[in-house]
Amino acid sequence: MTATPNTVPASAADDSPRLPSRWSATLAEPFARWAGAVPGIQAVVVGCGPGVLASFLVDLLGEGHVAALDPSPESVAACRRRLPGIDVRRAPLDAIPFDRRFDLATAHLAWDALPHPAPALGEMVRVVQPGGKVAVTVWDAEGPGVLNHLADACASALGDTAPPGPPALDLGRPGELTHLFEDAGLTGVREIVLTTTVTHRDFDELWSSLEQGLGLLADLPPVARAPVREELFERVGSPQGPFALELSARCCRGVVAR
């Protein structure tokens, strides 16, 4: 299954400086609907960021039906400002601080820096009632996307000194999420790819946002960033003005055993 592509200016998707949260806004609705979000259920967003997915769920389900958490105090504050009527807590992804049971637990592009996802998935299973659903998205490791372009640009420009790619890229390979879900005891597991398109004002906007928001570049000195920037510029088509990038996310859902 592939989502119908829709083009959203990167600068308009939300007010967070992290581009991944901007990109995720275009995939939030199709992911939520595919995950099983329907009026009347109780849902929790694990790794909510500034509230991209939670905002859509509030519109669909109502404030009293959505809770959220994130390990980042900045993200928790941003989500609370955006959605003051829901319960948003600061907590690690593998220690969900809610006692109640939900009908749906989601993690939307929240695992990009998570080296060991199994405990986080186990917590999502724990807080979902039998017959409820757990759903996760990660960036598709084999599809289009800036993270893949950036990882390839680093490898080409820096060789053996290139920083490792985000851990979630390994989970983005076909079948990896399915295996993880089945190992967690989930049933009826399904895996798909959702695709969308995001426009950027120019390459400078893309690059400055990547420098602000992605750990892949955080440890590189300016002298090492320069060749990576040049390589990435070529890989996205050497744009001279506004340009569009196709993005794809691998999604997995499963049902908690009764």
Phi, psi of 206 (to 5 degrees): -60, -50
Q: What's this model's pTM, rounded to 2 decimal places?
A: 0.84
Condensed to tens digits (0 to 9), the pLDDT of residues 70-100 reads 999 999 999 999 999 999 999 999 999 998 8
Given a contact cutoff of 8 angstroms between Cβ atoms, the answer to whether 108 and 45 are in contact is yes
Condensed to tens digits (0 to 9), the pLDDT of residues 27-78 reads 999 999 999 999 999 999 999 999 999 999 999 999 999 999 999 999 999 9
Mention every residue, 6+ apart, whose C-beta is less than 8 A from residue 142.
172, 173, 174
Distance CA 258, CA 243 (A): 48
The whole-number pLDDT of residue 21 equals 64
Q: Which domains does the chain have, with CATH numbers?
A: 7-255 (3.40.50.150)
Q: What are the tokens at 132? A: 């409820």
- Amino acid at position 83, single letter: L
Condensed to tens digits (0 to 9), the pLDDT of residues 145-188 reads 777 788 888 888 888 877 766 666 678 899 999 999 999 999 99
The whole-number pLDDT of residue 93 equals 96
Mention every residue, 6+ apart, whose C-beta is less than 8 A from residue 56.
28, 29, 32
